[in-house]
Amino acid sequence: MTPVTPSVTVRVPAKVNLRLAVGPAQADGYHELVNVFQAVSLYDEVTVTAARPGQRLAAVTLDGANGEGLSGVPLDRTNLAARAAECLARATGADAAVDIRLSKNIPVAGGMAGGSADAAGALLACDTLWGTGLPEAELSRLAAELGSDVPFALLGGTAVGTGRGERLTPLTCQGVFHWVFALADAGLSTAEVYRTYDRLRPDAPPPKPDPDLERALARGDAEALGRALANDLQPPALALRRELADTLSAGRNAGALGAIVSGSGPTCAFLAADEAHTRRIAAALRDRGACARTVHAYGPVPGAQVLS
């Protein structure tokens, strides 16, 4: 297939989980979820370029805006972005040989779906580069094959995911919510956090939505949203990384409206009243030495978008 443009860049947001209700493990090892996502203004950029002559596979290169924490990212075909390119090529008959450059801002293995964002970005970028033009529903189906959080990275906004978290329904959300994220030096394995959850909660009930949370979003009520934040993966993340309890209490003491481990962690998310409040929370976290670094972001923002 002839490339439509030689190079395409897609910008993809991170997510924070506003509610992550986790049911018992199913026969396939996955858990049934009620997973409320919000896309936030912390982005990776994925640039795909038509392959050089003789190149046969998708090749991945990296740069990190902060030049740190990228050591856990594979550069071979196991990278989720390379797998996304191959998955789209298989589905459309395109040639999977493509150069993929990842500019990473989203923490690696941080519970903010950075790998899923890169996969969503690669899907959309390759779809544009190759001119395959798949309908949104079909891209979303391929995204779900790559990982439970990948469809949301395409969609963005605020949405609830059921099933494994991949069956999405957008939620009404008014206004802007301001977040501080406390990033850790080392990531946590999502699979290990789920295994620890199974040990701690062998009797987990089926996951349920929370009407209070949905009302808070619909009204743009940050205080009510702060009260409604909930994450069943927080106890196992704290069991694996005890110091996160100090991080959470440092943010709470700084007046955060809500303090929660993001997804499977170790990133902690703090909901602020406004932008000035984010600076006070971040300063308190730094003064306490409660995390490696902080970033401020707001949500909701749109999902993956083509920049060029």
The least CB distance from residue 9 to ligand C5P, in Å, is: 24
Q: Which is nearer to ligand C5P, 13 or 147 (CB)?
A: 147
15 catalytic per annotation: yes
**Strand ranges inside the chain, DSSP E:** 7-25, 31-50, 59-64, 98-104, 158-162, 167-170, 177-183, 230-231, 258-261, 268-272, 293-299, 305-306
> Looking up tokens 């600076």, which residue turns up?
279
Residue among 138 and 198 whose Cβ is closer to ligand C5P: 198
Contacts of 149 (CB under 8 A, 6+ apart): 15, 37, 113, 116, 161, 165, 166, 263
The CA-based angle 22-162-192, given to 5 degrees, is: 40
The catalytic residue among 15, 104, 118, 232 is 15
Least CB distance from residue 150 to ligand C5P, whole Å? 7
The residue among 159 and 254 lying less far from ligand C5P, judged by its C-beta, is 159
State the minimum distance, in angstroms, from the CB of residue 147 to ligand C5P: 3
2, 7, 217, 281, 306 from 129: Cα distances, Å: 9, 7, 36, 42, 10
CB of 177 to ligand C5P, least distance (A): 24
Which CB sits closer to ligand C5P, 33 or 256? 33
Q: Active site includes 127?
A: no
Pairing of β 158-162 and β 230-231: unpaired
Q: Which residues bind ligand C5P (CB under 6 A)?
A: 30-31, 33, 147-149, 164-165, 190-191, 194
Q: Which is nearer to ligand C5P, 147 or 187 (CB)?
A: 147
Least gap, CB of 99 to ligand C5P (angstroms): 24
Catalytic residue among 44, 118, 127, 149: 149
268 and 251 Cβ atoms separated by less than 8 Å: yes
Rounded CA separation 284/276 (Å): 13
**Which residues are marked as active site?**
15, 149
